[in-house]
Amino acid sequence: MRIKRKRLFLLKFCVSFSLLSLAACQSSPPPALDQKAEAPPPPAPGVIGAEIGQTLDEPDRARAIAAQQDAITTGLRKSWRGAHGVYGFIVPTAETNGCRDYTHKIFINGRPQEAKRQACLEKDAWRVIR
């Protein structure tokens, strides 16, 4: 009787494992990551249009603008990394009266540069106003 139970358990285990393996094979692979960052229209130049942004090449500037827009829109901290070791992050504050302050810190050659700006919601779009 014990041998029958062990065989039954082993059979159930093998069938379950086979079904799970087959189910995993039918799933589609994750989409490939696009290495090119497409920047949305900037809310305004903000930090990127200032002196800090002038030292970034176009792909890095696009990544920084996209991260800045995402952080301003969501109100959540957002990091970004450029192709040549340049990186940064944006820390927005809570929205108050349709506006939010944010700090954009960029590291170029390991040296931090920081700027503080404010964005406000105008006609359903965030715009950097100062």
CB of 40 within 8 A of CB of 23?
no
pTM (two decimals): 0.60
Cα radius of gyration rounded to whole Å, the chain: 25
Res 114 pLDDT > 90: no
Q: How many CA atoms lie within 13 A of 8 on its CB side?
A: 5
2-36 pLDDT per residue, tens: 555 555 555 454 445 454 444 444 444 545 545 55
